[in-house]
């Protein structure tokens, strides 16, 4: 396997990466009272030292009462929480890495299994949860303006703390995606509508405000998924034309990179082409894209979260697509939980030393 192509530097605005490998954002639920801990700083530093080019943090929530549905998710607001993140980015830079926080509002969620509830009711586009059932509250225009401002405030904090970029979590059925999705967005005002392009307005306002706060030179990544929780075959954009109509206003609003979440990167997005989601997103938007999903592993991540193990897999198919120019960056999740040195081992072609993923990797942050 010659993976040298993945180890070319990548430059875009504020991003200066030593290679094209990205640590995918992964919720770890180890924060205490919303504050990321020094152990997490060591965890991220260990991955930076293992040579992954860019680290995207676990989802970290903006300043709204119900932006999280569990208590041990890190906040990205308030002096103590931001001091924790300062420690993280300094540790990553010290190890020669680059990093962006994944800014998150979960939206209208199911109650957490622990029974914990946020201080204010869950909120979403239409007061419908991700199964389409009535729950929580429907956002007013004033709420929406406050959420947009909270994303902007978090973005500015990311820049001020010295992060290299930021990612907005617009995937997997959380708030931004709840606006995209017709099951959860039944609004008839300017934030709703029959077409996916019409339901993109909330995300556009978030991106515009984030861009206004961080300036032109700071890289903004937007994570999107066609699939939805419990409906993995779902496609928001059912054709290349719909995909283009979805992404064009987001690119115009200021997105630099689309992070295209798939469970298996090799699955084609539309008929009559083997291009995957990231491949099509790059083709129709002209923007850089990140691919993700079972790179270097046999099983996919949701089965992994349920406890299924996965074995190392060849990167040949990934490299075929990368060398064809389908996408610019490649994100990996579970391989980096199992082994902080995964990227270095790939660079040095130490394939015999690659590890599989087992659920044991989820029990701790720093790998011994």
Ligand X SMILES: Cc1cc2nc3c(=O)[nH]c(=O)nc-3n(C[C@H](O)[C@H](O)[C@H](O)COP(=O)(O)O)c2cc1C
301 binds ligand X (CB under 6 A): yes
Between 171 and 219, whose beta carbon lies closer to ligand X?
171
Residues facing 366 on adjacent strands:
none
Closest CA to 65 of 171, 165, 137, 160: 137
Going through 207-315 in order, the beta strands assigned E by DSSP cover 219-225, 257-261, 288-292
**Could you tell me the smallest distance in angstroms from the CB atom of residue 278 to ligand X?**
12
214 binds ligand X (CB under 6 A): no
Between 277 and 301, whose beta carbon lies closer to ligand X?
301
Among 64, 87, 105, 169, indicate the residue that binds ligand X (CB under 6 A): 169
Between 1 and 302, whose beta carbon lies closer to ligand X?
302
59 binds ligand X (CB under 6 A): yes
Which phi and psi (to 5°) does residue 166 adopt? -145, 160
Contacts with ligand X by CB under 6 A: the residue count is 24
C-alpha span between 23 and 167 (Å, rounded): 12
Instruction: Classify 29 as helix, strand or coil.
Output: coil
292 binds ligand X (CB under 6 A): yes
**Could you tell me the smallest distance in angstroms from the CB atom of residue 294 to ligand X?**
4
Long-range contacts of 200-203 (CB under 8 A, 24+ apart): 200/246, 200/249, 200/250, 202/125, 202/144, 202/148, 202/176, 203/168, 203/170, 203/176, 203/179, 203/250, 203/253
**Which of 174, 191, 232, 234 is an active site residue?**
174
Q: What is the footprint of ligand X within residues 120-149 (CB under 6 A)?
A: none
Q: What is the footprint of ligand X within residues 77-106 (CB under 6 A)?
A: 102
Q: What is the footprint of ligand X within residues 5-24 (CB under 6 A)?
A: 24
b/e for 315-336, b at 16 or more Cβ within 10 A? beebbebbeeebbbbbbbbbbb
295 binds ligand X (CB under 6 A): yes
Q: Convert residues 29-58 into a mask of x (bound to ligand X by CB under 6 A) and - (unbound).
A: -----------------------------x
Closest CA to 66 of 152, 159, 174, 172: 174
Label the pairing between strands 15-17 and 10-12: antiparallel
At which residue do the structure tokens 């990548």 appear?
A: 10
Report which DSSP code applies to 154. H
Q: What is the footprint of ligand X within residues 244-263 (CB under 6 A)?
A: 261
**Could you tell me the smallest distance in angstroms from the CB atom of residue 64 to ligand X?**
17
321 binds ligand X (CB under 6 A): no
Span interacting with ligand X, options 131-139, 201-209, 278-286, 326-334, rule CB under 6 A: 326-334
C-alpha span between 174 and 59 (Å, rounded): 11
Radius of gyration for the chain, computed over Cα atoms and rounded to the nearest angstrom: 19
Active site residue 43: no
Distance of CA 266 to the CA centre of its chain: 19
Q: Which two tokens stand for residue 14?
A: 């504020």
At which residue do the structure tokens 């906040």 appear?
A: 75
Span interacting with ligand X, options 41-49, 167-175, 178-186, 213-221, rule CB under 6 A: 167-175
Among 124, 127, 136, 333, indicate the residue that binds ligand X (CB under 6 A): 333
Span interacting with ligand X, options 246-254, 283-291, 316-324, 331-339, rule CB under 6 A: 331-339
**Could you tell me the smallest distance in angstroms from the CB atom of residue 197 to ligand X?**
23
Between 127 and 337, whose beta carbon lies closer to ligand X?
337
Which phi and psi (to 5°) does residue 28 adopt? -120, -15
Span interacting with ligand X, options 164-172, 181-189, 241-249, 274-282, rule CB under 6 A: 164-172
Active centre residues (catalytic): 174
Where along the sequence are the contacts to ligand X (CB under 6 A)? 24-27, 58-59, 102, 169, 171-172, 223, 261, 292-295, 297, 301, 304-305, 332-334, 362
């Amino acid at each position: 396997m010659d993976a040298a192509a993945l180890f070319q530097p990548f430059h875009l605005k504020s991003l200066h990466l030593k290679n094209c490998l990205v640590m995918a954002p992964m919720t770890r639920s180890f924060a205490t009272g919303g504050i990321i801990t020094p152990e997490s700083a060591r965890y991220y530093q260990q991955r930076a030292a293992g040579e992954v080019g860019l680290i995207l943090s676990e989802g970290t929530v903006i300043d709204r009462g119900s932006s999280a549905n569990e208590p041990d998710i890190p906040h990205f607001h308030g002096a103590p929480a931001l001091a924790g993140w300062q420690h993280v980015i300094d540790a990553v830079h010290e190890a020669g890495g680059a990093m962006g926080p994944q800014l998150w509002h979960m939206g209208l969620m199911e109650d957490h299994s622990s029974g914990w509830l946020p201080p204010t009711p869950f909120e979403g586009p239409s007061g419908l949860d991700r199964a389409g059932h009535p729950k929580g509250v429907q956002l007013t225009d004033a709420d929406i303006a406050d959420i947009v401002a909270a994303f902007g405030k978090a973005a500015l904090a990311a820049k001020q703390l010295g992060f290299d970029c930021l990612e907005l979590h617009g995937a997997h059925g959380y708030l931004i995606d709840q606006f995209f999705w017709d099951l959860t967005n039944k609004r008839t005002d300017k934030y709703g509508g029959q077409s996916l392009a019409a339901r993109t307005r909330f995300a556009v306002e978030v991106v515009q405000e984030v861009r206004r706060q961080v300036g032109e030179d700071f890289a903004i990544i937007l994570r999107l998924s066609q699939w939805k929780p419990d409906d993995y075959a779902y496609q928001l954009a059912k054709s290349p034309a719909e995909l283009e109509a979805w992404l064009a206003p987001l690119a115009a609003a200021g997105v630099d990179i689309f992070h295209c979440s798939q469970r298996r990167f090799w699955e084609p997005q539309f008929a009559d082409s083997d291009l995957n989601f990231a491949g099509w997103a790059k083709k129709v938007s002209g923007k850089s894209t990140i691919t993700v999903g079972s790179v270097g592993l046999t099983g996919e991540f949701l089965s992994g979260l349920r406890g299924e193990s996965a074995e190392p897999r060849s990167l040949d198919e990934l490299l075929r697509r990368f060398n064809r120019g389908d996408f610019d960056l490649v994100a990996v999740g579970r391989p980096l939980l199992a082994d902080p040195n995964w990227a270095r081992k790939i660079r040095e072609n130490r394939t015999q030393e690659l590890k599989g993923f087992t659920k044991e990797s989820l029990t701790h942050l720093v790998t011994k």
